Amino acid sequence: MLPKKRLTRMSRTKGDSSSGFIQIKFKRWSLPEKFEIIEKYKAAMSDIVIGREPTSSMLKYAVQDPPVSDADLEKLGALAGELIYTARTQQDFAREKFEEILKKKNLYNPILMHYIERELWGYGPLTAVMADPKIENIECNKADAPLTITHTDYGRLDTNMVFTTDELDRLVMRLAHLAGKSVSVFKPYLDGVTIPGGHRYTCTYRTEISASSTFAIRKFPEKPWTITKLLVNDTITPEMAAWIWLMVETRQAILVAGVMGSGKTSLINALSSFTPPHMKIGTAEDVPEFRLPHTYWLRYVIRDPQTIEGTGAVSIFDLLKLLLRSNVDYIMVNEIRGEDAKVWMQAVATGHGGITSIHAENPETVFARLEQLGIPVAHVSALRGIAFIGFIFQDIGKGYFKRLRRVKEFFEVNIREDGKEVNRLFWYDTGPNGGPRSLSLDELLASNSAKLMMEYLGLSPDRLKEEYLNRIDFLKWLKDLALARPETAEMESVKQFISNFYLDKKFYKAVPLPSARPQEVVKKEPPSIKPKITLPAELVQEVAEEVKAEAKKLADVKVVGMGDLILRPPRVLKKGKIKESRAVPPPPPPPPPLSGLVEKLKGEG
């Protein structure tokens, strides 16, 4: 066996002045030339710029990494490679160790340390987008093509980030290792695994099942969505939330429907805070996405096959059956797709409360999807409500529309032997004078869900009305408090407030709202963007030639001067031939000489 020193000599390349260890390469991003900046902010130590290139009318998401010289970066890569190779213990691989050695080599500064940290302990060249709280999805569909992202304000955008085939292969493997998984030619894909931060990662490897390696990352917020945050963002109204609260409390099963990426799981996460504190919640997930503000929470997650033959897998179906025997009061599933739908329906039919989600856009689509999953309408009698969450687009001028999430509709469902009855209780009107709408209070109290509430809680219509209005006031108080103290919108605070509400339903009336805010909370609207129209190059050249021809013809026209008056031909406004300009009248005859005029006057006396 060769000694280590011998190995390091063999690893040197010709002309390499470094120590001979494998050098770490740092990939950096910079702004395109003449980039028009629309919005700019920071993520990690990089600048995030939303803008346009001169030749494009489409918005683009650009990352500009902190500046550093190529020489310093090369030295840093060589030193990092040596330290990694010679590290013997976990302590040798610690940040403090690298920082100490960089100071000894006179290479330490915050920017260089940032590059080291992102390459060794972060997401490498993806660090900036992973740190950007406004990013929801990151997608790479093939090598040598721009990475795309989904922005909370601007939607789907191309980026200035491009990976070669080799770079993309290495990045896909690196992200797989962060998830504790492996990807190879034998198994060239990963489906919905979890990477650090709780984000969902899907990828393909090399050209086995796709044109090149690909990946998609579904990002989740660092701090989970709560009912208070949804109220502050106007995603749901206090009136709708209070009604759903009463339905959740009385164990009426609710289905959250919407398109992909509309926020279904976040809404379930927020609505779970309405469960009474002493109740026990059981969740079954294919990917661990829930972060519930609840003390008694039993969480189950599926397991992939453990052998080459595919044995050892634990499915959602298995987990739901297990939850039925676990003495839970509520059963929540992040999404029903197959046999698990039947088990969930059976669970809520036996008296369990529950919330789950499904991909659908309207009630008809919901029931059609359930039938495709093998659940006829007659078997969903326990389903009491359907909430639809999606996007509306607000025109903020100059051709730009901002995406806004809204719980657009809430339906009450009543399944009878002779069919189904679906009544819309709350909705969002997107017309010119749009906004949240609902049935009248008397109509709500006469609904089937209200009858179930009164039966479960033992209330009269007047007492139910009082409970409903009190919850509306409490939710408005939560919203106002969060506007004054944003930290009260976080999960632990919301959990404490709702626990207090169940102990004393009037406690909030004795808690005055803060009169002065520590800082003014201003919702920052994305800047208005002027539409940019681009034309084909041939048409641009043709128009330019016509303009030059017109200018030449105008230059040939003689300008006539008369004192301070300058007569020019009329300006041509239309493209094409220049209009015939009117003939300029000839100048008047010159006046007679002054001496001749004097002689004439003398002759006339």
Instruction: Write out pLDDT tens, residues 553-567.
Output: 655 544 444 334 334
Name the more confident of 310 and 591: 310
**282-290 average pLDDT score:** 89
Strands 383-395 and 353-359: unpaired
pLDDT band at 396 (very low <50, low <70, confident <90, very high): low
Q: Higher confidence at residue 603 or residue 382?
A: 382
More confident residue, 193 or 88: 193
| The CATH classification of domain 134-222, taken from the options 3.20.20.70, 3.40.50.980, 3.30.420.40, 3.30.450.380 | 3.30.450.380
Provide the token pair at 40.
């700019």
Domain 21-132, second-level architecture: 2-Layer Sandwich (3.30)
**Integer Cα distance of 398 and 533 in angstroms:** 12
**pTM to 2 decimal places:** 0.75
Mean pLDDT for the stretch of residues 299-321? 88
Tell me the C-alpha distance between 187 and 168, whole Å. Answer: 17
Q: How far is the C-alpha of 558 from the C-alpha of 556, rounded, in Å?
A: 6
* pLDDT at position 268: 94
Comparison of pLDDT for 583 and 513, the residue scoring more: 513
pLDDT band at 393 (very low <50, low <70, confident <90, very high): confident
Place of tokens 């390469």: 25
For residues 280 and 298, the answer to whether their CB atoms sit within 8 Å is yes
Domains 21-132 and 134-222 share a fold: yes
Average pLDDT, whole number, for the chain? 83
Q: Which has the closest alpha carbon to 524: 134, 148, 238? A: 134
CATH of 227-460, one of 3.40.50.150, 3.40.50.300, 3.40.50.1400, 3.20.20.70: 3.40.50.300
Q: In this structure, are residues 359 and 369 in contact, taking their beta carbons and an 8 Å threshold?
A: yes
SS3 437: strand
Domain locations along the chain: 21-132, 134-222, 227-460, 536-605
pLDDT of residue 545: 74
